[in-house]
Structure 1
Amino acid sequence: ARTAVARGARVTLIEANTGLPDPAGADVVRVGTAVQLREAVLKAAADADVVVMAAAVADFRPAAYASGKIKKKDGEEAPVVPLVRNPDILAEVATERARPGQLVVGFAAETDDVLANGRAKLRRKGCDLLVVNEVGERKTFGSEENEAVVLAADGTETPVPYGPKEALADTVWDLVSGRFQQM
């Protein structure tokens, strides 16, 4: 978001569960659940030229929420918590573009077969660019540095070597700018 603002973009940042300071110059919308995130993204995407979906949304959520603490009882097994699927916001935004020519960028955290899984996800989701990175032990979301490959729907791949996340953001926005200017 900071990189987009610095490049002159009007930015709406939809965020959940982060302690990061708000980026100067961005409109910030806070949400608490995947369902709220979907609603906010669809609203913001309606007039956006570019939608960047960097959130790591859980695939599932509890089917029902307890009104209070679930207390353990001696001799009792742990409760089974039924799950339901969260909405696939990236796929929805990519397949039902709110505007002609809208660019959609997704992110994919993978643990194995990173590029193969990323290519499959790019096709399945239908986005224009997919930033794929490997996560796992010592490769965490909270790190100030990252390494990734940006996969494009046209088959191109842009590796981003290990370094500050700002360098990754610059690469993503360079790719977005290049594609947006071709339209």
Structure 2
Amino acid sequence: IDPVRYISNRSSGKMGYAIAEAALEAGHDVILISGPVNIDPPQHAKFVSVSSSDEMFDAVNQDADKCDVCVLCAAVADYKPAAVSSTKIKKRDKRISLELIRTRDILDSLGHRQDRRFLVVGFAAETNDVEQNAMQKLRDKNCDVMIANDVSSANSGMESDANELTVLFQNGERQKISRAPKKNIARELVKIFQILQQKRLTKKM
């Protein structure tokens, strides 16, 4: 908005960092592209720090073709200010209006990339009709997998150290992962990604 104010959300980054750690544990090379969070990045990951949705879009699209699986779980803003003030906005008026415009859709850009050779995994943070909305997002963005996350629960999701998820696949199948520490859930997700990637490679043979 101005040099001291910005639009953010409650996402802590814990789930994404846990997935990066789990992938490293499983022996994979990891590129971790992250916005500002209060977590130290995994030691052996290639770490790319970004501070805006535009920087995230550019970084992800630059590195995507180097990957077998792209997991997009960052809670990137859907909207941004149409104009950013170069100086701090002073508290003079009782009310001000802020015009917002859509940010570039990272998940959509990867899902619909021509001749992509990587799996695209998206996250859907929802508060109602969770699985229905997540499945619609999977189809709209042309993802291979969509992970539905009910963020209305106080005991899981954003800011929490635990989570419970439903993994949705293109063929309509779904797999529930019961509430557990995010590190444990991350390991389960990495196993799922490995199986999908192996099936993908087998089809090409």
Asked if TM exceeds 0.5, the reply is yes
1:139-150 pair list within 5 angstroms = 139-150=156-167
Question: Within the alignment, does 1:32 sit opposite 2:51 as a pair?
Answer: yes
Aligned mate of 1:119, from 135, 141, 149: 135
Fraction of identical pairs, as percent: 36
Q: Which amino acid aligns with 2:105?
A: D
| Structure 2: gaps spanning 5 or more residues | 1-19
| Structure 1: gaps spanning 5 or more residues | none
Aligned mate of 1:60, from 79, 103, 110: 79
Aligned mate of 2:148, from 117, 121, 132: 132
Which residue of structure 2 aligns with residue 21 of structure 1? Answer: 40
Instruction: Show structure 1 runs of 4+ deviating over 3 A.
Output: none
Go from structure 1 to structure 2 and tell me whether the alpha carbon gap of 1:154 and 1:140 turns closer, same or farther (over 3 Å shift): closer
Which residue of structure 1 aligns with residue 23 of structure 2? Answer: 4
Question: Within the alignment, does 1:105 sit opposite 2:112 as a pair?
Answer: no
For residues 29-80 of structure 1, what are the alpha-carbon distances to aligned partners after superposition, in whole Å with 9 as ceiling and x for unaligned?
A: 000000000000001102211101010111100011111221122xx33211
Question: Within the alignment, does 1:42 sit opposite 2:58 as a pair?
Answer: no
Question: Within the alignment, does 1:167 sit opposite 2:184 as a pair?
Answer: yes
When normalised by structure 1's length, the TM-score is 0.94
Alpha-carbon distance in structure 2 between the residues aligned to 1:176 and 1:97? 21
Which moves more between the two structures, 64-73 or 14-23? 64-73
Query: How many residue pairs are counted as aligned between the two chains?
Result: 180
SS in 2 for 1:90: helix
Higher relative contact order structure (alpha carbons within 8 Å, sequence separation ≥ 6):
2
Which moves more between the two structures, 108-117 or 91-100? 91-100
SS in 2 for 1:150: strand
SS in 1 for 2:139: helix
Contact map agreement 2:35 2:51 (CA 8 A) in 1: yes
Contact map agreement 1:107 1:130 (CA 8 A) in 2: yes
Go from structure 1 to structure 2 and tell me whether the alpha carbon gap of 1:117 and 1:99 turns closer, same or farther (over 3 Å shift): closer
For residues 13-34 of structure 1, what are the alpha-carbon distances to aligned partners after superposition, in whole Å with 9 as ceiling and x for unaligned?
A: 0000111011121010000000
Question: Within the alignment, does 1:84 sit opposite 2:84 as a pair?
Answer: no
Contact map agreement 1:2 1:24 (CA 8 A) in 2: no
Alpha-carbon distance in structure 2 between the residues aligned to 1:38 and 1:153? 24
Which residue of structure 1 aligns with residue 169 of structure 2? Answer: 152
Contact map agreement 1:147 1:161 (CA 8 A) in 2: yes
